[in-house]
Amino acid sequence: IQILGTSSISLGFGATAKSLADQVTVPSGYSVQVVHATGDAINTATPAYSNTGAETDDWTFRVGDHHDGMALFYVTAAGMYSATATDRAVLAVNHESSADSHFLHPRGQTSGGVNGKKFNQFGNWDAKTRPGLEVLKEINLHGVSIVELSKDSNGHFSQINPASTLNRRISAQTVVNVTGPSAHLAGIKQLFTTKFDTTGATARGTLNNCANGTTPWGTYLTCEENFAAYTNIRTGGTAPDAKAVETRRRYGVARAPISATATAASGQGWFTPTDTADTNERFRRWDSSADGANAMNDYRNEPNTFGYVVEIDPLVSSSTPAKRAALGRFAHENAAHSNAVAGQALAFYMGCDSRNEYFYKFVSQQNWSAADVGGGMAAGDKYLSEGTLYVAKFNADGSGQWIELNISNTSIAAYNTNGFSFSNQAEVLVFARLAADAVGATKMDRPEWASVNPSNGEIYLTLTNNSASNRTPSTTDGANPRSYNDPDGNMGSGNPNGHIIRLKEVGNLASATSFNWDIFVFGAEQDSGDSVNISKLTANNDFSSPDGLWFSQSTPGLLWIQTDDGAYTDVTNCMLLAAVPGVVGDGGKITVKNSLTVNAVTTTGTQETFIGALLPDARLRRFLVGPKGSEITGLTETLDGKALYVNIQHPGEKTGAVNAANNDWIADPTKLQSQWPTNGGGLISAYGPGTRPRSATIVITRNDGGKVGL
Ligand code: FEO
Ligand code: CA
Ligand code: CA
Ligand code: CA
Q: What was the pLDDT predicted at 664?
A: 60
C-alpha distances out from residue 657 to 9, 115, 121, 354, Å? 48, 19, 8, 30
Range 80-87 contact pairs with CB under 8 angstroms and sequence separation of 24 or more: 80/315, 80/374, 81/218, 81/315, 81/373, 81/374, 81/376, 82/374, 83/218, 83/373, 83/639, 84/639, 86/638, 86/639, 86/640
Q: Which of 26-30, 112-116, 487-491, 687-691 has the highest mean pLDDT?
A: 26-30
Given a cut of 80, whether residue 178 has pLDDT beyond it is: yes
Instruction: Give the residue among 482, 446, 444, 479 at the shortest CA–CA distance from 566.
Output: 446
For residue 242, what are the contacts with CB-CB under 8 A and spacing of at least 6?
418, 419, 420
Q: Hey, what amino acid is at 266?
A: S
Q: What is the mean pLDDT of residues 633-658?
A: 92
Taking the CA of residue 208 as reference, the ligand 1 atom at the shortest distance is 1
Given a cut of 60, whether residue 127 has pLDDT beyond it is: no
Q: In angstroms, what is the span from residue 547 Cα to ligand 3's centroid?
A: 5
Q: In angstroms, what is the span from residue 565 Cα to ligand 4's centroid?
A: 10
Q: What was the pLDDT predicted at 666?
A: 64
Neighbours of ion ligand 3 (CB under 5 A): 464, 547, 564
Given a cut of 80, whether residue 265 has pLDDT beyond it is: no
Q: Which ligand is nearest to the CA of 225?
A: 1
Q: What is the mean pLDDT of residues 378-386?
A: 98
User: Is residue 315 helix, strand or coil?
Assistant: coil
Given a cut of 50, whether residue 121 has pLDDT beyond it is: no
List pLDDT tens digits, range 227-250. 998 998 888 888 888 999 999 999
List pLDDT tens digits, range 189-209. 999 999 899 999 999 999 999
| pLDDT class of 491 with cuts at 50, 70, 90 | confident
Q: What was the pLDDT predicted at 134?
A: 86
For residue 660, what are the contacts with CB-CB under 8 A and spacing of at least 6?
none
Q: What was the pLDDT predicted at 323?
A: 98
pLDDT over 90 for what percent of the chain?
A: 78
Q: What is the mean pLDDT of residues 669-680?
A: 89
Ligand 1 pocket (Cβ < 6 Å) reads 96, 210, 225, 333, 353, 448, 547
Q: What is the mean pLDDT of residues 280-308?
A: 82
Q: Hey, what amino acid is at 584?
A: V
Q: What was the pLDDT predicted at 262?
A: 66
Neighbours of ion ligand 2 (CB under 5 A): 448, 547
List pLDDT tens digits, range 58-73. 999 999 999 999 999 9
Q: What was the pLDDT predicted at 543?
A: 98
User: Is residue 88 helix, strand or coil?
Assistant: strand
Given a cut of 80, whether residue 683 has pLDDT beyond it is: no
Q: What is the mean pLDDT of residues 619-632?
A: 98
Q: In angstroms, what is the span from residue 277 Cα to ligand 2's centroid?
A: 37
DSSP, residue by residue, 331-392: -B---EEPPP-TTSEEEEEEEB-SEEE-EEEEEEEEEP-GGGTT-HHHHHHHHHSSEEEEEE
| pLDDT class of 88 with cuts at 50, 70, 90 | very high
List pLDDT tens digits, range 248-260. 999 999 998 887 7
* Angle value at C-alpha 228, between 420 and 692, nearest 5 degrees: 175
Q: In angstroms, what is the span from residue 634 Cα to ligand 2's centroid?
A: 8
Taking the CA of residue 211 as reference, the ligand 1 atom at the shortest distance is 1
List pLDDT tens digits, range 547-562. 999 999 999 999 999 9
Taking the CA of residue 351 as reference, the ligand 1 atom at the shortest distance is 2
Q: In angstroms, what is the span from residue 577 Cα to ligand 4's centroid?
A: 19
C-alpha distances out from residue 306 to 119, 192, 204, 614, 619, Å? 23, 9, 9, 40, 39
* Angle value at C-alpha 225, between 229 and 39, nearest 5 degrees: 80
Taking the CA of residue 446 as reference, the ligand 1 atom at the shortest distance is 2
Q: What is the mean pLDDT of residues 170-179?
A: 98
Complex prediction ipTM = 0.91
Taking the CA of residue 97 as reference, the ligand 1 atom at the shortest distance is 1
For atom 1 of ligand 1, the residue with the nearest CA is 210
Q: What was the pLDDT predicted at 665?
A: 62
Q: In angstroms, what is the span from residue 587 Cα to ligand 4's centroid?
A: 27
Given a cut of 90, whether residue 472 has pLDDT beyond it is: yes
Which residues on adjacent β-strands are paired with residue 224?
209
| pLDDT class of 603 with cuts at 50, 70, 90 | very high
